[in-house]
Structures are given as structure tokens and as C-alpha cells.
Amino acid sequence: MRTNEELLASLTPDTVLAGRTALVTGSSAGIGEAVARVLAASGAEVVVSGRDAGRVQGVVDAIVKAGGRAHALTADLGAEPAGIRAFAQRAEDALGGTVDILVNNAGVYPGTLTETVTDDEMQALWATNIRAPHVLVAGLAPRMAERGSGVIVNIGSWMARVGVPYKALYPATKAAVEQLTRAWAAEYGTRGVRVNTVAPGATATRGNAAFADQLAEMTKGTPAGSPVRPIDIAYAVRFLASDEAPFIHGATLDVDGGIAATRLR
């Protein structure tokens, strides 16, 4: 099986999303980077965002080198709502005044056992995983609705519907994201804005390379037999953002190798 890096390096340009603009939060690495590069390869003009300016610019440079269009914006999605609103405005300005596709990817996942979660970790989970997407949708979705078109894709998690003994709060935030997706689909869908979730399974990224053995163990009993690659999530996001998915509203698309739905042993 080809690696995530090999696939990203060999993306073939197409026009699936030509003429559209996209904001991808948390796109300086991992899943977000893959989403930004795949959307750009399909013709979208993309805002790449993250906290580290150097890593953000590196993703932009990779997109531009491949013939795409991208802009770098630094942002802390754990900031207060006013800061998130200002970030949304900067993204709109960078994209010529219009965000056609919003991908709420940025997220944090600290904490293990419930009694070990610190107050700061608890606040960070709430602020980044739930509040930031809510503020961005509140700011951008009404303008999409005014135009009569737009797509919002939220990144969830396979853990949102599975109880595990080592994390409680992070999956709870992702369950909230799934419910927000359903509510936003009902709220904005009749005005031309489609809202859906992509739920990754155990995903191998550079950021969790130290846990490669654990990821392999978690996924060897799944139908796929190996961890999800970030680009697999990106392909699903591109599909939901495209004209090929006009009747998909309020759905959660699991891209998890079967980890949440199947048991082979």
C-alpha cells in the first residue's frame, strides 16, 4: 500500500472544485494538510491555517509548487470567539470575500483517564473542538445561505460512538460535532448549504508516529487491517464538497477501516 506522503506527492490535478474557495482549519500537518492539498489539487483556492507559521507556509509552498492556489494564515482555534471571528474575516478577505467550503478540522485530544484531565485540558477541548467550529459556522454559513450554496465538512472521530476506558471527554466533543452537523444540516440545508461529518478511524500521522505500534495493534483486527492514512480522509472530504454529493445532508461518513462497525474476532 502506498504511503500518505507518496500519494500526496503524486496528486493529479483535476477540476472537480474549480472556481471554489476553501478554508481548512488546522491544516499545517496531518489530516488537515492532506485535505488542503487534495482540495487544491482539485482546483479549489485554499486557506491553510495553523498555529505554526513555518509549517503553514510549508503546506502553502507544496500546494503552489504543484500548481495550486493557497494562502497562509496563522490562527489559534482555542482563542476567544472574537479572535475566531477575526480569523474568519481574514480568511474571507484572502479568498476574495467568499468561503465556499469550510472544513472544521482543527482539534485537540489531550487527557487520558477522567481523573487526570486538567482544567486547562478540559477548557482546550471545549474551546477548540466545539466552540471554534460553532463560531466559524455562525459567521460563515449565513453568508453561504445568502448566496444559496456552500459546503461545511466537520471532522469527527470513530470514538464518538464507542466507549473506551482511556478517554471520555475527547470522544464526547466529537459526539457533539456529529449532533451539530445534524442540526446545521437542518438549519441551513434548505438554503443551499450542505453540512456533513467525516469520522476518521485510528489515523497514522507524523504527529503520532511515536504510537505507530499501538495504532497497528488497534487496527490489525479491522477489515482494512491497518491505520487510516490522512489522504483517505481528504478524499472523503473532497467527495462531500463536490457536486457528486448533492443529496448528502447531515450524514457522518466513517472512514475508519471498519473499526467502529465491525468485529472480526
Tens digit of pLDDT for each residue in 159-180?
A: 999 998 989 999 999 999 999 9
φ and ψ of 229, to 5 deg: -100, 145
Q: Where are the beta strands (DSSP E) in the chain?
A: 21-24, 45-50, 69-74, 101-104, 150-155, 193-200, 252-255
C-alpha distance from residue 113 to each of 120, 165, 176, 181 (Å)? 15, 7, 20, 27
21-24, strands of its sheet edge to edge: 69-74, 45-50, 21-24, 101-104, 150-155, 193-200, 252-255
Q: What is the mean pLDDT of residues 111-128?
A: 94
Q: Give the bridge partners for 131, in sequence order.
A: none
Considering the domain boundaries, does residue 9 fall inside one?
Answer: no
- Selected catalytic residue, list 109, 170, 188, 235: 170
- In the annotation, is 170 catalytic? yes
pLDDT of residue 206 exceeding 90, the answer is no
Q: What is the mean pLDDT of residues 211-223?
A: 90
pLDDT computed for residue 127 by the predictor: 98
0.95 surpassed by pTM: yes
Considering the domain boundaries, does residue 260 fall inside one?
Answer: no
Mean pLDDT of the chain: 96
Considering the domain boundaries, does residue 263 fall inside one?
Answer: no
CATH number at residue 63: 3.40.50.720
Instruction: Please report which confidence band the pLDDT of residue 205 belongs to, taking 50, 70 and 90 as the band edges.
Output: confident
Considering the domain boundaries, does residue 7 fall inside one?
Answer: no
User: Residue 38's domain spans which residues?
Assistant: 15-254
C-alpha distance from residue 86 to each of 90, 132, 139, 144 (Å)? 6, 12, 10, 18
Q: What is the mean pLDDT of residues 195-212?
A: 89
pLDDT computed for residue 212 by the predictor: 86
- Which residues fall within 8 angstroms of residue 120, CB to CB, at 6 or more apart? none
Considering the domain boundaries, does residue 154 fall inside one?
Answer: yes
Q: How many domains does the chain have?
A: 1
